[in-house]
Chains A and B, each alone.
Chain A
Amino acid sequence: MMLVSLVVLSSLLIPLTGNKYALYLSTKIWILVLYAIAFNVLFGYSGLLSFGHALFFSGSAYTLAILVTRLNFPLALGFVCGIVISALFSIAVGVLSLRHREIHFAMVTLAFSMLFWGIVMKWRDVTGGEDGITGVPRGLPLFWFYYFSLAVVVLSSYFIYRFVKSDLGLILEGIRENETRVQFSGHSILKYRLYAMLVSGTFTGVSGALWALLDRTVTPTISHWTFSAVPVIVTLIGGPQNFLGPAVSTLIYVIVQDIITKYTLYWQFIFGVAILAVVLFFRGGVMGIVENYIDSLMKGGR
């Protein structure tokens, strides 16, 4: 907890450096942190691997962009509508997919997100097709937008934290461990999974809306399945069983990606190797390694 407040407090200083690129990159990191934490409500806490979170992310981003640039909605209203659309999407997809699990659930969510990607690519009049939508206003200078994003991400993460640590979150963990046992404890697993889906999808929508404002552009990249893979990758690297695991590795992911792309176009290759290494040798991810290290320090101290 100390460490978290330290990181948040020190990141308050980033805009004061005056480095625009660092500011842009840090905002992007915060947004992706929320994306990963929201995704992990389903993956780490409920044991459901969604391969279609780009749907909720881009659903919100596109809604905001379309409403604001094409229909002249006020920015704040567009922002809220984007999030509401993600919530609706997550309920709809949840109702249709939550009877399935494991690979089947992953495939159904992937199918829905690819369906949306198809619409985005083909419905040029509204979505701009491959070119996407440009000219989304940000509403705030980047300096203040950074603080706005930071506040939204921290508050949202706090809410998600309270959710997964509540009685409801406990039942979700029970479902992850053993569905049958939760059922004969008198709980309908479908209902609880739908709650998880709603929380996960809605906050993914929050991050998507922030993304549209930061980039001032939305392109089909964020609705493609490769963008659904981003939280999967960072969560695996960071450690799904730790609330902050996905957040920590998002930081690593964005910075390393930024550095590697300066030298080679094949940055995905490097990440592929990293994921293999983590999955094969460090099942707990980065946070698992840190926890083990702290444990051994404590034992050594005694």
Chain B
Amino acid sequence: MSRNAKINTLLLLAVAALAVLPLALGLGDHKKEPFTGSDAQAENAVTELDPEYEPWFSPLYEPPSGEVESALFALQAAVGAGVLAYYFGLRRGRRQGEERAAARATARGEARAEAHDAQGGSGRSEAEES
């Protein structure tokens, strides 16, 4: 593995560790419902601070179940990941194409230069190249 790939892998491992450690260390065990969303906790805090507060608007569309909701979240992540992958794939392909074209051009140039030497250096091929 190249040094670059190693660093990238380490970065990913660090992110994974940060996500898994709270679970592995049982940091949610002191709670009645461990690892709920912070937005739901904020809703509870609002009701504690102002017991009379009633949300005055409800979502136009609400996913009918936790499964549907997680499917939609997965869809969001998949769309994003797809676009990112398309971008990097396209870039990589273009770069490789350019490199190949450049290699071919230099190979052709060398071949032409050899032919040029063989001809004993007439001005014609030089004009062609420019």
Same complex for A and B? Answer no
